[in-house]
């Protein structure tokens, strides 16, 4: 278990002190995939670096398996880092080493014999699906393949935790999905607790169990992904979760309603169709973003009402009497 | 047409000897310059701001010493270092003394070359090694130096060429080699062909060093696609 307690980090620069993190408190349970989402500059990269003390916090502590990271002597800290793997946005592979050499690297520095290291590295490269490319150099690989090597390398010392710092931000959507699925399977099959730092909602959505929303050096919100995503309490969480709909263009100039679904049973039936049939009035769906958690639909939809006043009122009445939450969009 | 002096020198093997002495002095001096300059360059890098062993005091003192020696023209440095040469090798004359001066003159230069090569290593790779629990020595030996290798080799070719040019200058203080032949037989006895032959031979040696350096660097660099 990772416990982050009253963690703070202030950078001293010539232009004055910059507070990157302030009083951060998080508990990351073993076995889960924990997401930390925030806009750039929110402090999320600093936060993940404070977990393995690549950045030394200026306040508070990180307690991993009951041990205070801040009070570990240098030697034990290096030992501890071997049980916390890390992958990066830019992969950070050793360019002058082969794929195999890269995966052997953490084993070499922890004093594992060459033969044993090689066997272990080959086994890991098989898990990430790169057993054919062991002799290639990083410059010969695609971004997705590089991240696979980085994942194999991070897993070489059998870490209990894996920190992912914007691990998919440099990858295309397809490759992103493959890497996220690989992380999910590593979490499931190897029992590695994964901490994911990202600015992309879809990453959290796809693999995380819990999520913390970080904004302006503070944790704005934390909880199960299904809870935070369906009922965001803070504005920043709403901004991150609900995509900006600047491109919603009204086609007929009718009134627009935003419908919110948060898990009531009726969202499982063809609600809009029934409404249209029962009211005998057409609506225009301008925007819809819904997800399924625990077999219940959550999300938002924006519909445009007919210009005819009577039909529009009929629809609003129907929605209210069917307990659909709606709000007029201005 | 070549003067009779050239044939005399060639028949006596003096020109061949000169080539060998130049190469030999350059190699010995280069070896020792790297022996001192490489660790110095590493220390300058790791103690610098945001380095893995950031230490402002050590960095400023070493940086100042390196700049101090580098700012003195080699010909003046040689004269100033005569007592040092005498102390180290027991004489302030001849090639032994010249090699000592070459090392004193070139080590700071090498240190800066090494420093600039190592600084090219991506900070992210160093961070990854730290995240894996590598200690400082491991980062230096297994990350910084191997990752900077192609750049270090290019730097070495440039440094060796510089040392070669220093060695020719050392002829003014009794060093032998092509520089001495050019001064004594070319300049002082007014045989300009001999001077130009020395120039030509030096250019060839420099070309060989430079080409070998570039070729080795390219061969060792794994960053080039599809090789």
Q: Where are the domains of chain A?
A: 2-241, 256-329
pLDDT at A202: 87
CA geometry: angle A35, A41, A42, nearest 5 deg: 45
Interface membership of A277 toward B (CB under 8 Å): no
Q: Which of B138, B147, B226 sits opposite A96 (nearest CB)?
A: B147
**Which residue of chain A comes nearest to B140, CA vs CA?**
A109
Distance CA A182, CA A33 (A): 13
Residue A165's alpha-carbon distances to A46, A50, B59, in angstroms, are: 10, 12, 32
Could B222 and A84 be called an inter-chain contact, meaning their C-beta atoms sit closer than 8 Å?
Answer: no
**Which tens digits make up the pLDDT trace of A101-118?**
999 999 999 999 999 999
**Which residue of chain A comes nearest to B143, CA vs CA?**
A94
- Chain A residues in contact with B134 by the CB 8 A cut-off are 78, 109
Q: Which of A94, A109, A140 sits opposite B226 (nearest CB)?
A: A140
pLDDT at B120: 95
Is A266 a residue whose pLDDT tops 60?
Answer: no
- Chain A residues in contact with B129 by the CB 8 A cut-off are 105, 109
- Do β-strands A84-88 and A256-262 pair in parallel, antiparallel, or remain unpaired? unpaired
Among the ranges given (A154-158, A166-170, A270-274, B207-211), the one the predictor scored with the smallest mean pLDDT:
A270-274
- Chain B residues in contact with A103 by the CB 8 A cut-off are none
Interface membership of A81 toward B (CB under 8 Å): yes
For A293, phi and psi rounded to 5 degrees?
-120, 130
Whether A94 contacts A109, CB under 8 Å: no
pLDDT: is B137 or A253 the higher one?
A: B137
- Select the CATH number that applies to the domain covering A2-241 from these four: 3.60.20.10, 1.10.20.60, 3.40.50.300, 3.40.50.1820: 3.40.50.300
**Which residue of chain A comes nearest to B221, CA vs CA?**
A96
CATH class of B23-176: mainly alpha
Strand partners, A164: A87, A196
Is A7 a residue whose pLDDT tops 90?
Answer: yes
pLDDT at B172: 82
Instruction: Select the residue from A51, A69, A92 to test the B interface by mutation, using most B Cβ atoms within 10 A.
Output: A92
**Which residue of chain B comes nearest to A107, CA vs CA?**
B132
Q: How many CB atoms lie within 10 A of CB A300?
A: 17
ipTM: 0.87
CA of B222 vs chain A CAs: smallest distance (Å): 5
B9: pLDDT confidence band, cut at 50, 70 and 90? confident
If we measure between CA atoms, which residue out of B195, B213, B205, B212 comes closest to residue B21? B205
**Which tens digits make up the pLDDT trace of B47-105?**
999 999 999 999 999 999 999 999 999 989 998 998 999 999 988 888 889 999 999 99
Distance CA A225, CA A239 (A): 15
Interface membership of A136 toward B (CB under 8 Å): no
Distance CA A11, CA A45 (A): 14
Is A121 a residue whose pLDDT tops 60?
Answer: yes
CA of B141 vs chain A CAs: smallest distance (Å): 11
Interface membership of A163 toward B (CB under 8 Å): yes
A182: pLDDT confidence band, cut at 50, 70 and 90? very high
- Continuous H helices in B47-93: 56-71, 74-80, 82-89
**Which tens digits make up the pLDDT trace of B119-176?**
999 999 999 999 999 999 999 999 999 999 999 999 999 999 999 999 988 888 888 8
Instruction: Please tell me what DSSP assigns to residue B91.
Output: -
- Continuous H helices in chain B: 4-11, 14-46, 56-71, 74-80, 82-89, 94-118, 123-131, 136-138, 145-169, 178-181, 192-220
CA of B161 vs chain A CAs: smallest distance (Å): 26
Per DSSP, the residues of A25-79 read: EEEE-TT-EEEEE--TTSSHHHHHHHHTTSS--SEEEEEETTEEGGG--HHHHHH
Could A78 and B222 be called an inter-chain contact, meaning their C-beta atoms sit closer than 8 Å?
Answer: no
- Chain B residues in contact with A88 by the CB 8 A cut-off are 124, 127-128
Could B124 and A92 be called an inter-chain contact, meaning their C-beta atoms sit closer than 8 Å?
Answer: yes
- Chain A residues in contact with B220 by the CB 8 A cut-off are 96
Could B131 and A140 be called an inter-chain contact, meaning their C-beta atoms sit closer than 8 Å?
Answer: no
pLDDT at B227: 47
High-pLDDT (> 90) share of chain A, %: 63
- Select the CATH number that applies to the domain covering A256-329 from these four: 3.40.50.2030, 1.20.1600.10, 3.30.70.260, 3.90.1170.50: 3.30.70.260
pTM of the model: 0.85
Give the 3-state secondary structure of residue A138: helix
Q: Which of B138, B143, B225 sits opposite A140 (nearest CB)?
A: B225
Could B131 and A108 be called an inter-chain contact, meaning their C-beta atoms sit closer than 8 Å?
Answer: no
Distance CA B186, CA A149 (A): 62
- Chain A residues in contact with B132 by the CB 8 A cut-off are 81-82, 85-86, 105-106, 109, 153-154, 157
Instruction: Select the residue from A75, A94, A141 to test the B interface by mutation, using most B Cβ atoms within 10 A.
Output: A94
- Where do we find the tokens 């290593």? B121
């Amino acid at each position: 278990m990772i416990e982050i307690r009253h963690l703070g980090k202030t950078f001293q620069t010539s232009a004055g002190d910059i507070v990157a993190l302030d009083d951060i408190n998080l508990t990351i349970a073993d076995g889960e995939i924990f997401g930390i989402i925030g806009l750039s500059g929110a402090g999320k990269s600093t936060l993940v670096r404070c977990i393995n003390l690549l950045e030394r916090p200026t306040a508070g502590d990180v307690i991993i398996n009951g041990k205070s990271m801040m009070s570990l002597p240098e030697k034990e800290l290096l030992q501890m880092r071997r049980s916390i793997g890390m992958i990066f946005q830019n992969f950070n592979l050793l360019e002058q080493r082969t794929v195999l050499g890269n995966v052997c690297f953490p084993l070499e520095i922890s004093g594992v014999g060459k033969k044993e290291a090689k066997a272990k590295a080959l086994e890991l490269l098989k898990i990430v699906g790169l057993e054919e490319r062991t002799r290639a150099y990083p410059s010969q690989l695609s971004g997705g393949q590089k991240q696979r090597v980085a994942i194999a390398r991070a897993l070489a010392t059998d870490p209990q935790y894996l920190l992912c710092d914007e691990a998919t931000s440099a990858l295309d959507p397809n490759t992103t999905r493959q890497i996220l699925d690989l992380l999910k399977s590593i979490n499931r099959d190897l029992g590695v607790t994964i901490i994911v730092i990202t600015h992309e909602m879809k990453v959290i959505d796809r693999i995380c169990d819990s999520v913390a929303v970080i904004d302006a050096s503070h944790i704005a919100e934390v909880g199960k992904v299904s809870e935070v995503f369906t009922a965001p309490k803070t504005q920043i969480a709403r901004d991150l979760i609900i995509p900006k709909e600047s491109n919603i263009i009204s086609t007929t100039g009718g009134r627009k309603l935003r419908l919110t679904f948060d898990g009531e049973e009726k969202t499982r039936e063809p609600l809009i169709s029934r409404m249209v049939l029962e009211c005998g009035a057409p609506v225009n769906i301008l925007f819809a973003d819904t997800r399924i958690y625990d077999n219940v639909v959550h999300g938002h939809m924006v519909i445009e009402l007919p210009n005819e006043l009577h039909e529009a009122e009929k629809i609003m009445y129907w929605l209210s009497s069917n307990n659909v939450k709606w709000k007029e969009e201005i | 047409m070549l003067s009779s002096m050239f044939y005399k020198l060639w028949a006596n093997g003096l020109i061949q000897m000169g080539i060998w002495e130049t190469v030999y002095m350059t190699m010995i001096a280069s070896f020792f310059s790297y022996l001192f300059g490489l660790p110095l360059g590493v220390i300058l890098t790791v103690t610098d701001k945001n380095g893995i062993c950031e230490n402002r005091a050590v960095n400023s003192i070493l940086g100042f010493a390196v700049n101090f020696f580098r700012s003195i023209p080699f010909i003046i440095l040689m004269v100033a270092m005569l007592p040092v040469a005498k102390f180290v090798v027991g004489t302030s004359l001849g090639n032994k003394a010249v090699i000592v001066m070459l090392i004193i003159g070139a080590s700071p230069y090498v240190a800066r070359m090494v420093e600039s090569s190592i600084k090219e290593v991506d900070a992210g790779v160093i961070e990854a090694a730290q995240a894996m629990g590598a200690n400082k020595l491991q980062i230096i030996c297994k990350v910084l130096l191997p990752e900077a290798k192609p750049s270090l080799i290019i730097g070495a070719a440039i440094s060796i060429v510089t040392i070669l040019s220093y060695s020719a200058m050392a002829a003014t203080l009794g060093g032998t080699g092509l520089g001495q032949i050019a001064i004594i037989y070319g300049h002082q006895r007014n045989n300009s062909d001999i001077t130009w032959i020395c120039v030509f031979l030096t250019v060839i040696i420099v070309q060989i060093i430079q080409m070998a350096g570039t070729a080795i660097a390219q061969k060792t660099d794994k960053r080039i696609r599809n090789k």
